[in-house]
A and B are shown apart, each in its own frame.
Chain A
């Protein structure tokens, strides 16, 4: 088990290295120049050149990459071109908000998806099934940028239960978490349903039923536990999507997370911030998934034998 864990974590390193290079080159491929954005056109060419030098942007690309990777190894992410603050500070300031929103959205999704999925599976091909799946499809097809303002209008302006936006207290977390969680709940509930439908057909469930156990006991005691196994993997993948994909939700709710930080930094070509933010998001993602895999292997020993070449 330990060995599997170590192997899985070791695999993180080449991915992080690949990501670091990828983000570096992509950023330098796109047109735009932070010096121009910062100084404006009024500045003298000489001043721009001086700033470019001060930022190390005059060096050849491979040298810049080398410095950058060197810095990363020492956990030095550099400073923001615009605010001049150490990027680690900026990220650490934003990270709690990102994780908070991610976990809350996850909780919303799980709390909605499991009951819906189970109901739909148990009452397969009935009105309940169609209703639950209809809701799920609704969730999948409503874009965040519509759902967000809609929830604000209802929950904050009409009912006045929650603040419109910002990050002040647990109430302000509810609407963004719902916005983000609903689309995830949609995907998750379908997964729960289909996974449970497969499990119900398994022999041991039939045995349990044959023993005369009540239908619900069979489902919850025996079926659900096994059915949630594959859902766990999906959950890990989705959490990754939550970390990076919350950009629109973060913008709507003025949530101070890493997603909106990244978009702002991309627009201003604040290279070091984009690089660091993308790496952090990716790192969280990779680690969460490595962890999910290991967890999965711990829960279901069959996986380990399958994966070893």
Chain B
């Protein structure tokens, strides 16, 4: 695949997400007589289980999925790495506590946490972001911690400390640049998990509320009509795959691009 294609797909996705509200779309219009109707000249992708245009919903859904993906991945990446770096750098009881908390969250079924959040906060897109973030940060924290543990006895870090650099400065200037590559790559893989995870949460009543569309909920609803009207699940499914593919290839490209600097790190 040409190297610019993944970037182009992601940009189109983001672009559609931004301009979607301005387009002349009618994603919530219900036409009972065209329930599950197949593609037609005006509606290339056909209609869903409520007689709504799948094409229109796909575009609006791109926005929801984009927002959720960007919010969750950036929030978890920031919080998770900060916790991981801090824990590894300071060590001692802080580190033990963080490891304990990570193990706790990893071992705890995320589903239960999601139902509790739904019960306490009520459903909605912001709570989806919250629920996914509550579970998502541990991956980055683990990774960041492991990386820093390997790096903190390196000559340049020890030297910086000996020269009296503040912990913040050491973490920011000497550690973060070295571990950001694996973290970013991990984040690019996380995007797929978040989009699919959002669908799972709508399943529990925590997701986007009707009539809003998201790719995840479109796939989930479409699956129920797989036997009767396979076209319903196809469009959002392919869209999701394309985006996941693009984001991951982008992650690979990012890694290759950063590789010059990080080769020595990974070797350790």
Residues on A close to B: CB < 8 A? 11, 14-15, 18-19, 22-23, 26-27, 29-32, 130, 133-134, 137-138, 140-143, 145-146, 149-150, 153, 187, 190, 198, 201-202, 237, 240, 244-245, 247-248, 262-263, 266, 274, 278, 281-282, 285-286, 289, 306-307, 309
State in angstroms the CA–CA spacing of A274 and B108 once bound together: 12
B150 touches A306 (CB 8 A): yes
Distance in Å: Cβ of B12 to nearest Cβ of chain A: 17
Q: CB-nearest residue of chain A relative to B237?
A: A146
A137 touches B267 (CB 8 A): no
Among B107, B115, B149, B219, which residue has the most Cβ atoms of chain A within 10 A? B107
Any A CB within 8 A of the CB of B11: no
Q: Which residues of B contact A31 (CB under 8 A)?
A: 119
**Least Cβ distance of B24 to chain A in Å?**
30
In the complex, what residues of A have CB within 8 A of residue B150's CB? 306
Q: Which of B111, B112, B245 has most chain A Cβ within 10 Å? A: B112
CB-CB under 8 A from B106, the residues of chain A are: 237, 240, 285, 289
> A229 to B263, alpha carbons, bound, how many Å?
19
Range for the number of chain B residues in contact with chain A: 35 or more
Main secondary structure of the interface of A (DSSP, over half): helix
Contact yes or no, B92 A309, CB < 8 A: yes
Evaluate whether A134 and B120 lie within 8 angstroms (CB atoms) in the complex, with A18-B104, A237-B106 already known.
Answer: no
When distances are taken between beta carbons in the complex, the residues of chain A under 8 Å from B263 are: 201
A26/B241 in contact, CB under 8 A: no
Q: How far is the CB of A282 from chain B (nearest CB, A)?
A: 4
The answer to whether A30 and B116 touch across the interface, beta carbons within 8 angstroms, is: yes
- Is there contact, CB below 8 Å, between A240 and B245? no
Contact of A141 (CB < 8 Å), options: B100, B200, B241: B241
Given contacts A29-B120, A30-B115, A30-B116, contact A141 B192 (CB under 8 A): yes
Q: Are B119 and A30 in contact (CB under 8 A)?
A: yes
User: Given A282-B108, A309-B92, are A26 and B116 neighbors across the interface (CB < 8 Å)?
Assistant: yes
Q: State whether A15 and B248 are in contact (beta carbons under 8 Å apart), knowing that A30-B120, A190-B189, A262-B109 are contacts in the complex.
A: no
Output the least CB separation between A232 and chain B (Å). 14
- 5 closest residue pairs by CB, A with B: A141-B244, A30-B119, A282-B107, A244-B109, A285-B107
A145-B192 contact given A23-B108, A30-B120, A266-B115, CB 8 Å threshold: no
Pull 10 A–B residue pairs with CB atoms less than 8 Å apart, ordered by A.
A137-B244, A140-B192, A141-B195, A141-B240, A145-B203, A263-B111, A266-B111, A278-B112, A281-B107, A285-B106
Let me know if A244 and B116 touch, CB within 8 A.
no
Asked if B196 is an interface residue, CB under 8 A from chain A, the answer is: yes
Once the chains bind, are A134 and B116 in contact (CB under 8 Å)? no
Residues of chain B within 8 A of A248, CB atoms compared: 200, 203
Task: List chain B residues, Cβ under 8 A from A202.
Answer: 267
